[in-house]
Amino acid sequence: MALKEVWIGSVGPFVYDDDDVYADDPTIKHMGIRTDGFIRTALAPVLGGDVLRKDDVGAGQLVAPVDASYVVIALSGSLDAERRLQVGTGLTLTDGGANGDITIDLALSYGSMYSITDMAITMTTQNVWYEIDAAAAWVTGKLNNCTFTDPYITVTNAGTYLITWNIGGRIGTANQVVRCGIMIDRTVTDNPTHGLPGVQGEGRGVFEFLNAARRLNTGGSAILTLAAGRTVSLAVRNLTSAAKVLTVGVGNLKVVRIGG
């Protein structure tokens, strides 16, 4: 025998009729819980103790589905298919908290230094690298996630960096060939493995002084992968002879992070 669907309420039970109204007020329909084996309610829940209907859940009116592909800040044991938002190297993520903003920004890393003061670099031994260093000659430029300590820049974050430089100088002796390069960690090792301590093979320049009075400029650039805390400076070596002094009159060094 089929179950009869009835209303259960303060004036019931009575046979369910969607058009049934109160006898003393025909503008008000009978409301309550009706059942033919299942408990049903005619209205969406309002109060904390109200019955929650399946339609309210399925339509997303009150409770969101737990198996949707949500993007979240932190994984939750209450969701089945969420994706956690993360940022890669070179980006920052700031969580503004409940009802706030999530801000993704580029974590810029750059540093620069320059000199307009004469720096006399004595190249005591032929074919040996010497850092371009003179007391208080280099001056800090713009810095972000880098630090400056005369005569070098230190990178705060690991990553891939574009390094550009130029210097101008004179030597006072004719027929001298002076090589210039990017020095990592103030180390005189020649042409180390890419980005490790030493004077890099990439990004070198050269002076060819054919006469003693000549003032020349040279420069270079390199893309190097550097660990956090590496220092970047400039170095020179005389390929021709020993005990010569290179006077560097101007210098510029820029370090810009371009990738992870």
**pLDDT tens track for 27-79:** 766 565 555 556 666 676 777 667 666 666 655 555 667 788 888 888 888 88
Domain residue extents for the chain: 1-62, 64-107, 110-259
| pLDDT value at residue 8 | 54
Cis bond leading into 65, ω under 30°?
Answer: no
Assign 148 a pLDDT band (cuts: 50, 70, 90).
Answer: very high
| pLDDT value at residue 119 | 96
- The tens digit of pLDDT for each residue in 184-194 reads 999 999 999 99
For residues 168-174, average pLDDT: 95
Domain covering 110-259 assigned CATH 2.60.120.40 in the classification: yes
CA atoms within 13 A on the CB side of 17: 8
pLDDT of 133 strictly over 90: yes
pLDDT of 180 strictly over 50: yes
- The tens digit of pLDDT for each residue in 154-169 reads 999 999 999 999 999 9
Question: Which residues sit opposite 163 in a β-bridge?
Answer: 222, 255
Pick the more confident residue, 89 or 206.
206
Pick the more confident residue, 105 or 139.
139
Assign 118 a pLDDT band (cuts: 50, 70, 90).
Answer: very high
| pLDDT value at residue 41 | 67
pLDDT of 22 strictly over 90: no
| pLDDT value at residue 1 | 42
> What average pLDDT does the structure give for the chain?
85
Q: Report the C-alpha gap between 1 and 13 in whole angstroms.
A: 19
